[in-house]
Amino acid sequence: MTFQVYDTTLRDGAQREGISYSVVDKLAVARLLDEFGVGFIEGGWPGAMPKDTEFFRRARTELDLRHALLVAFGATRKAGLAVADDPQVRALLDAETPAVCLVAKSDIRHVERALRTTGAENLAMVTDTVAHFVAEGRRVFLDCEHFFDGYRYDPAYTTAVTSAALDAGAEIVVMCDTNGGMLPSQVTTAIGALTERLGVAPDRLGIHCQNDTSCAVANTVAAVEAGVRHFQGTANGYGERPGNADLFAVVGNLQLKLGLPVLPDGCLEQMVRVSHAIAEIANIAPETHQAYVGAAAFAHKAGLHASAIKVDPVLYNHIDPSVVGNDMRILVTEMAGRASIELKSRELGLDLADHPDAASRVTKRVKDLEAGGWSFEAADASFELLVRSELPGAGTPRPFALESYRVLVEHREDGAVVSEATVKLRVRGERIIATAEGNGPVNALDEALRVALSRHYPELRGFELADYKVRILEGSHGTGAITRVLVETADANGGRDWTTVGVHENVVEASWHALVDALTYGLARTPKV
């Protein structure tokens, strides 16, 4: 049983709002998709888009694909124009890809209103163009745009378009849910009716689903269960409007739930890495709750879940996360029970199983702190410091003692706003006073801390404040406000990063707590310079 995993991230996926790939980006994405093991990579529309033309030119010498074939995308010949005279047809040939994908109208309403031609001429456009590329030695796929809507309106005409493409030599005719309005049962019904009309097996058909009803993945799986062997999708579901079928979810469902061998051996575990790398290139934050690949896909928060997972992880995980390159995470929140605390601590290399009293103290402290606005879900470093403080012999010494700090914000006559911070600390028996300026009060405080500590802790030079997030929480009585700050710190030398949390009514004090935790955690884990 052979499946054709067809990716259209670089063409249909690039139509997502906010995405603009450079040619270098497209080459990098193509390499990643090949590492994931897809069979076909639709690189773009040469002739219609100069960037895509350049991509195919460079791909000939710069891409060495192991699993995938490049596909150039384009349209059938224009109405009233001989196929050999159509410049876009010529551009598709000039791309020199082993396969082409042609888009054709299969809804008679679109033929007459959008193309402004006749049904007969549209059928001739399909026949002529498919036959032309077959004669040139290309593998041909035909995307039937608006297939399902067209089939419901005029099944005879949509069937005729499909038949014309197959008769002309198309390898696969792809049924496109262009408007994304179908449901799985409707997809299954249409496939059954079409194959009966055509008298062909469903493995001559393909499926391409948009996600306007949030059913793109389900519709794709339904089509495969109905016998289709060619399915299209995009990395992370990128695409116009709500997007396309998420290729990672489709592959995960087919291979892990239905046992269908859709990817080459060793490729499935690349799923998370490839998903996140493509998101980085697209400059889109990875969706944390995305199936299979999201950071929260196997994250457990409820204490009841954690208790069962402690006995056997399979009890609350639908698959072993490692098979797609993901990890199980235990979230530490006010909902956490003792089992959650123990599992999360073990994940961080701390064993509370032999210290029941410490486990109880940590659990109580977490619940009390979270009730006051703290959150350890995304602040593993602060949670680890908390656990260590309660675990005998595991405490992390603070690198300094605070005497006081002061932060000033000055708005000058010329409009410049300057922040200045002064810290008074005791470091290894020495009293140190340091002052620094910054582009904001927190930045100034961070700089002053570094000035004060750098002589005793030169390894601080490698620490960088990578991200800073502030959230204002409602006060306990609805009148005050509590500020929660998350600080992400990166070690430029070690390639590690960690996140800490601070909470207070005052944003500067909340930031101070997070900064102190960040430096304490980092210094405890960085080799001394």
- List Cα–Cα distances, 507 to 207, 422, 470, 478, 484, in angstroms: 52, 17, 8, 18, 8
C-alpha 336/C-alpha 304 separation (Å) is: 8
Here the tokens at position 209 are 């689903």
Phi then psi for 132, rounded to 5 degrees?
-60, -45
The widest CA-to-CA distance across the chain, in whole angstroms, is 91
Q: Which residues contact 119 (CB under 8 A, 6 or more apart)?
A: 108, 111, 112, 157, 160
CB atoms within 10 A of CB 109: 14
Q: What is the pLDDT of residues 465-505, one digit of tens each?
A: 888 888 887 654 444 578 888 888 888 776 678 889 999 98
d(CA 518, CA 528): 17
Nearest to 309 by CA among 285, 336, 276, 348: 336
| pLDDT tens, position by position, 351-373 | 777 788 888 888 888 778 877 77
Q: In whole numbers, what is the pLDDT of the chain averaged over residues?
A: 89
What residues contact 104, with CB distance under 8 A and at least 6 apart?
Answer: 75, 76, 122, 125, 126, 129, 142, 143, 144, 145, 161, 165
The pLDDT of residue 329: 65
pLDDT of residue 387: 87
The answer to whether 297 and 319 are in contact (CB under 8 A) is no
Contact 249, 237 (CB under 8 A): yes
Q: Are 432 and 425 in contact (CB under 8 A)?
A: yes
Provide the pLDDT for residue 372. 78
Rounded Cα–Cα distance for residues 41 and 382 (Å): 43
Residue 437 has, within 13 A of its CA and on its CB side, a CA count of 6
d(CA 256, CA 224): 14
pLDDT digits (tens, 9 = 90+) for 238-267: 999 999 999 999 999 999 999 999 999 989
Q: Which of 188-192, 399-403, 413-417, 442-446 has the lowest mean pLDDT?
A: 413-417
Does residue 223 contact residue 187 with C-beta atoms inside 8 Å? yes
pLDDT tens digits along 55-108: 999 999 999 999 999 999 999 999 999 999 999 999 999 999 999 999 999 999
CB 527 within 8 A of CB 491: no
- Residues 105-155 have pLDDT tens digits of 999 999 999 999 999 999 999 999 999 999 999 999 999 999 999 999 999
| Per-residue model confidence (pLDDT) at position 321 | 87
Q: Which residue has the tokens 């859709």?
A: 262
Length in residues, the chain: 529
What is the Cα–Cα distance from 202 to 3, expressed in whole angstroms? 12
Going 35 to 3 to 122 to 111, the CA torsion angle's sign is: negative
**How much is the pLDDT for 39?**
98
DSSP class of 13: G
Question: Alpha-carbon distance 244 to 217, whole Å?
Answer: 8
How many beta carbons lie within 10 A of that of residue 496, not counting itself?
12
Cα–Cα distance, 413 to 226 (Å, whole number): 73
Tell me which DSSP letter residue 491 carries.
E
- Please give the distance of CA 10 from its chain centroid, rounded to a whole number: 15
Q: What is the pLDDT of residues 31-63, one digit of tens each?
A: 999 999 999 999 999 999 899 999 999 999 999
Per-residue confidence band for 314, with pLDDT thresholds at 50, 70 and 90: low
Half-sphere exposure of 126 (CA within 13 A, CB side): 31
pLDDT of residue 334: 46
pLDDT(270) > 50: yes
Place of tokens 């209103």: 113
Residues 6+ apart with CB under 8 A from 490: 463, 464, 466, 496, 497
Note whether 468 and 442 are within 8 A (CB).
yes
pLDDT tens readout for residues 9-29:
999 999 999 999 999 899 999
The answer to whether 159 and 190 are in contact (CB under 8 A) is no
Q: Within 10 A of 447 (CB to CB), how many other CB atoms are there?
A: 21
**What's residue 3's pLDDT?**
96
Beta strands in 20-120 (DSSP E): 40-44, 69-75, 99-105
Contacts 24+ apart (CB under 8 A), 194-197: 194/151, 194/155, 194/158, 194/159, 194/162, 195/227, 197/155, 197/159
Token digits of residue 163 = 């038949």
Q: Model pTM?
A: 0.69
User: How large a percentage of the chain has pLDDT more than 90?
Assistant: 64
Going along the chain from its start, the domains and CATH numbers come out as 4-282 (3.20.20.70), 299-386 (no CATH), 400-456 (3.30.160.740), 464-529 (3.30.160.20)
Per residue, the 3-state secondary structure of 87-107, as one string, reads: HHHHHHHHCCCCEEEEEEECC
Q: Which is it for strands 172-177 and 139-145: parallel, antiparallel or unpaired?
A: parallel
Which residue pairs, CB below 8 angstroms and at least 24 apart, start in 403-409? 403/431, 405/445, 405/448, 405/512, 407/441, 407/444, 407/445, 407/508, 409/441
Residue partners of 459: CB distance under 8 A and separation at least 6: 523, 526, 527, 528, 529
Q: What residues contact residue 137 under an 8 Å CB cut-off, 6+ apart?
A: none
